[in-house]
Amino acid sequence: MKNNAVYFVFCFLVTCFFLSPGFAQQEEVITTGKLFREMIDMNGLTKFPAPYYKTVQYSSYDRRSKVPGGPFWFSNSDGFGREPIPNFEKVLREPDEKGIGEYLIADIKGPGAIVRLWSAAISGNIMLFLDDQKNPLYDGPAIDFFHNTYDDFPQINSINKELFGSTIYQRDASYTPIAFAKRMRMIWKGDLNTIHFYQVGVRRYEPQTKVITFSLEDLSTYRFTIDKVTAVLSDPDKLYSVNSIDPEVRLKVTLMPFEKKGILTLQGPKAIERLTFKIEADNINKALRQTILHIHCDSYPWGHVQSPIGDFFGAAPGINPYTSLPFSVQEDRTMICRFVMPFKDSMKIFLENQGDQTISITASAFPKTYNWDKNRSMYFRARWRVDHNLIASNKDVQDLPFLAGNGKGVYVGTASFLLNPSPIPTPYGSWWGEGDEKIFIDDETFPSTFGTGSEDYYNYSWSSPDIFYFPYCGQPRNDGPGNRGFVTNFRWHILDTLPFHNNIRFYMELYSHERISGLSYARIGYHYARPGMMDDHKALMPDDVRFPQLLEKWFPAARMGAINSVFYAAENNITEKKNTTVEPAQLWAGGKCLVWTPDNPGDKKIFIFDVEKAGKKRIHIVLGLTPCSGKVSFQIDGKPVFLSNDLKKIDLYRPFRTLLRNFSFQNMDLSSGRHELTVVFEGNEHNIQGSKISIDFFWVQDR
Beta strands in 493-579 (DSSP E): 498-500, 503-510, 516-529, 534-535, 565-569
For the chain, the 3-state helix, strand and coil shares in percent, each to the nearest 5, are 15, 45, 45
Q: Contact at 8 Å (CB) between 698 and 568?
A: yes
At what angle are helices 223-234 and 2-18 packed, to 10 degrees? 100
Split at pLDDT 50, 70, 90, the class of 246 is confident
The mean pLDDT of the chain is: 95
10 Å CB burial of residue 364 (0-12, 13-18, 19+) is middle
Strand partners, 450: 438
422 vs 188: CA distance, rounded Å? 38
pLDDT attached to residue 584: 96
pLDDT attached to residue 315: 82
> What is the mean pLDDT of the segment spanning 684-696?
90
**At 358, which amino acid appears?**
T
CA-CA-CA-CA torsion sign (681, 684, 689, 695): negative
pLDDT attached to residue 419: 97
Give the number of residues written for the chain: 703
Q: Contact at 8 Å (CB) between 597 and 691?
A: yes
Write out pLDDT tens, residues 373-432.
999 999 999 999 999 999 999 999 999 999 999 999 999 999 999 999 999 999 999 999
Phi, psi of 305 (to 5 degrees): -110, 125
Q: Contact at 8 Å (CB) between 594 and 695?
A: yes
pLDDT value at 80 more than 80: yes
- Asked if the bond preceding 317 is cis, omega within 30° of 0, the reply is yes
pLDDT value at 689 more than 90: no
pLDDT value at 295 more than 60: yes
pLDDT value at 301 more than 70: yes
564 vs 700: CA distance, rounded Å? 8
Contacts of 632 (CB under 8 A, 6+ apart): 623, 649, 650, 652, 679, 680, 681, 682, 693
363 vs 412: CA distance, rounded Å? 24
Contacts of 591 (CB under 8 A, 6+ apart): 552, 553, 554, 584, 585
pLDDT value at 547 more than 90: no
Half-sphere exposure of 97 (CA within 13 A, CB side): 0
Q: What is the DSSP string of 340-402?
A: -EEESSEEEEEEEE-SSS-EEEEEEEEEEE----TTTB-EEEEEEEEEEEEEE-SSS-EEEEE
521 vs 488: CA distance, rounded Å? 10
pLDDT attached to residue 686: 86
Q: Contact at 8 Å (CB) between 51 and 28?
A: yes
Q: Contact at 8 Å (CB) between 440 and 505?
A: yes
pLDDT value at 11 more than 50: no
472 vs 326: CA distance, rounded Å? 8
- 3-class state of residue 564 by DSSP: coil
pLDDT value at 369 more than 90: yes
Split at pLDDT 50, 70, 90, the class of 22 is very low
10 Å CB burial of residue 367 (0-12, 13-18, 19+) is buried
Q: How far is residue 547 CA from its own chain's centroid?
A: 23
Split at pLDDT 50, 70, 90, the class of 636 is very high
Overall CATH class of domain 564-702: mainly beta
| DSSP for residue 240 | P
Q: Which helix (H) or strand (E) holds 166?
A: helix 161-167
411 vs 381: CA distance, rounded Å? 10
**At 302, which amino acid appears?**
W
pLDDT attached to residue 24: 39
% of the chain with per-residue pLDDT over 90? 92
pLDDT attached to residue 215: 97
| DSSP for residue 212 | P
Q: Count Cβ atoms below 10 Å from residue 137 Cβ, excluding itself.
A: 19
Write down the domain spans for the chain. 2-234, 242-370, 381-540, 564-702
Its pTM stands at: 0.94
pLDDT attached to residue 348: 98
Q: Contact at 8 Å (CB) between 443 and 502?
A: yes
Write out pLDDT tens, residues 642-678.
998 888 999 999 998 999 999 999 999 999 999 999 9
% of the chain with per-residue pLDDT over 70? 96
pLDDT value at 60 more than 60: yes
Q: Contact at 8 Å (CB) between 329 and 319?
A: yes
23 vs 678: CA distance, rounded Å? 63
Contacts of 687 (CB under 8 A, 6+ apart): none
What radius of gyration, in Å, describes the C-alpha atoms of the chain? 26
Half-sphere exposure of 133 (CA within 13 A, CB side): 19
pLDDT attached to residue 13: 46
Pick the closest to residue 660 from 605, 593, 597, 606 (CA basis).
593
Split at pLDDT 50, 70, 90, the class of 18 is very low
* C-alpha distances out from residue 165 to 5, 7, 119, 227, 462, Å: 21, 18, 16, 11, 22
Strand pairing category for 631-636 and 649-651: antiparallel
251 vs 308: CA distance, rounded Å? 19
pLDDT attached to residue 245: 86
pLDDT attached to residue 593: 97
pLDDT attached to residue 345: 97
pLDDT attached to residue 17: 44
**At 406, which amino acid appears?**
N
| Maximal CA-CA distance, the chain | 79
Write down the CATH number for the domain with range 381-540.
Answer: 2.60.120.1390
b/e per residue 383-418 (b: at least 16 CB within 10 A): bbbbeeebebbbeebbbbbbbbbebbbbbbbbbbbb
Contacts of 451 (CB under 8 A, 6+ apart): 57, 59, 61, 199, 436, 437, 438, 457
225 vs 202: CA distance, rounded Å? 22
168 vs 490: CA distance, rounded Å? 16
Write out pLDDT tens, residues 92-102.
999 999 999 99
What superfamily would CATH give domain 242-370? Protein of unknown function DUF2961 (2.60.120.1390)
pLDDT value at 309 more than 70: yes
> What is the mean pLDDT of the segment spanning 492-514?
98
Split at pLDDT 50, 70, 90, the class of 14 is very low
Split at pLDDT 50, 70, 90, the class of 494 is very high
| DSSP for residue 119 | -
Q: Contact at 8 Å (CB) between 691 and 598?
A: yes
pLDDT value at 23 more than 90: no
Same fold, 381-540 and 564-702: yes
pLDDT value at 5 more than 50: no
Write out pLDDT tens, residues 134-171.
999 999 999 999 999 999 999 999 999 999 999 999 99
